[in-house]
Structure 1
Amino acid sequence: MEFQRGFDELFLIEENIKRISYKIHESAIKANKDPRQIILVAVTKTVTPEKIDKAIECGIKVVGENRVQEAKEKKEKVKNEAQWHMIGHLQRNKVKYAVELFSMIQSVDDFELAKEIDKRAKEKNKIMDVLIQVNIGNEITKSGITYDKAEELIKNVASLENVKVKGLMAIPPFCENTEKVRPYFQKMYELFLRIKEKKLHNTQMEYLSMGMTHDFDVAIEEGANMVRIGTGIFGERKR
């Protein structure tokens, strides 16, 4: 019985990825974008290594983890190759390990954190790709630099030698009606374009990471080229 349940869960992952990929394709075409340019990040918080392996087998190329220790434990057990991104709040005392584990840190929202990343990356002779996380809804429960201070932070982070700013990340307020979220995505895209047009030093605005299971289609329509999906792939998270 347990074996059958495990088999069913793995099969469901495959079907979910097909469904999500189709929806990404539809949303991209609707927005006159190349669907191949949209990166799907599989959010694997609390997900087992076996399920992560299955997702990678089904075409997932980027895994997103919220916690450094959880990523370390899983990465040692996951057999298939993928990029690993840090997408959760990063504490400075965990930066040393994050630099070793991840190819990108999507959640930089503070210059002191960026300086610590730079220091640890220099020790590893590595250039660490980062995204600047913007708290687009000014929510006290969420991390991120405010919209108005984002450009200043980017300029400061760009002064560091071993950190490369590659774009922006945001988590807008949750709304059942995704049309109410659309203005937040539009505002993020405007910021993304504005920074990109300025061609700031050591800043390569390639990625706009926004949109999750319930609203990724709207995010893509409004400019996202990287979406982070957990529940839509792996099902509801076990508490």
Structure 2
Amino acid sequence: MQDVERRLDAACARAGRRREDVKIVAVTKYVSAAIARRVVEAGCRHIGENRWPAAEAKWRLLEGQAVFHYIGSLQTNKVKEVVGRFDYIHSVDRWSLATEIHKRAAALGIVVPVFFQVNVSGEDSKHGLPPAELAAFAEEARGLTGIRPVGLMTMAPFEAQAEDTRPVFRELRRLRDELNGRAILPQPLTELSMGMSNDFEVAVEEGATWIRLGTVLVGKEDNGSSEGLR
């Protein structure tokens, strides 16, 4: 974790940004509840998971101590498992999903902060809205009172050289700023969820406010230990 902080500090310095403006989501989907607890105890309160069955033990152990982020593709029929348990949903990419989250949230009397996921790279293997459809989607979503759009999310292609991901992150920031300039949503989008273990420094240089770190932070679980937390 100290190495991640050192690298993050350096990336913020290069970009002229404040360290406190970049938040880490520790992606714990491949480790146990015990390791997730160690992550929280080490000072990283934001936990990222992509399936409720795998997250349930961690949620029950850390409820009230951690902030839970749903970071994977979410099926509409799984919304009932997620809304009310996860504090943020990073992967809203279609109308049926947005409306289902809204309905579930309204039934619970809550408002769910969400990110619109955009497939900036255009890869078939990636989920997300095509960039050209983002504005129309935001226009439709503005009437859904059970969700509160806070930002955009994307996944860059895995590149051998992290620098090659820069155009993807730069474009997501441009899309956010363009959407804000059009004042489509009731409140401006302030967040950019982008950057993972392989490319988070470039993402930070391009304006990421949330980075999703798995291997580089949590490491590999081995007999109850986690290399990344040492």
- The answer, yes or no, to whether TM exceeds 0.5 is yes
Distance change >3 Å, CA 114–CA 237, structure 1 → 2: farther
* CA displacement at 1:199 relative to structure 2: 2.8
Runs (4+) of structure 1 moved beyond 4 Å? none
Deviations 1:79-129 (A, max 9, x none): 771110100000111101210210110000001100000000000000011
Moved more, 119-128 or 142-151: 142-151
Distance in 2 (alpha carbons) for counterparts of 1:106 and 1:153: 15
Cα contact 2:138–2:185 (8 A) shared by 1: no
2:108 to 124, 129, 150: 124
Distance in 2 (alpha carbons) for counterparts of 1:180 and 1:166: 27
Corresponding letter in the other structure for 2:218: F
Q: What is the 5 A alignment of 1:1-239?
A: 17-78=1-62, 81-236=65-220
Root mean square deviation, CA, Å: 1.5
* CA displacement at 1:180 relative to structure 2: 1.2
Moved more, 201-210 or 215-224: 201-210
Structure-1-length-normalised TM-score = 0.89
SS in 1 for 2:100: helix
Any stretches of 5+ residues in structure 1 without a counterpart?
1-16
* CA displacement at 1:174 relative to structure 2: 1.0
Distance in 2 (alpha carbons) for counterparts of 1:80 and 1:99: 16
**Percent of residue pairs bearing the same amino acid type:** 33
Any stretches of 5+ residues in structure 2 without a counterpart?
223-230
SS in 2 for 1:101: coil
Structure-2-length-normalised TM-score = 0.92
Distance in 2 (alpha carbons) for counterparts of 1:61 and 1:202: 29
Cα contact 1:42–1:64 (8 A) shared by 2: yes
State how many pairs are aligned: 222
Corresponding letter in the other structure for 1:137: S
Corresponding letter in the other structure for 1:56: V
Distance in 2 (alpha carbons) for counterparts of 1:62 and 1:173: 24
Cα contact 2:173–2:207 (8 A) shared by 1: yes
* CA displacement at 1:22 relative to structure 2: 1.7
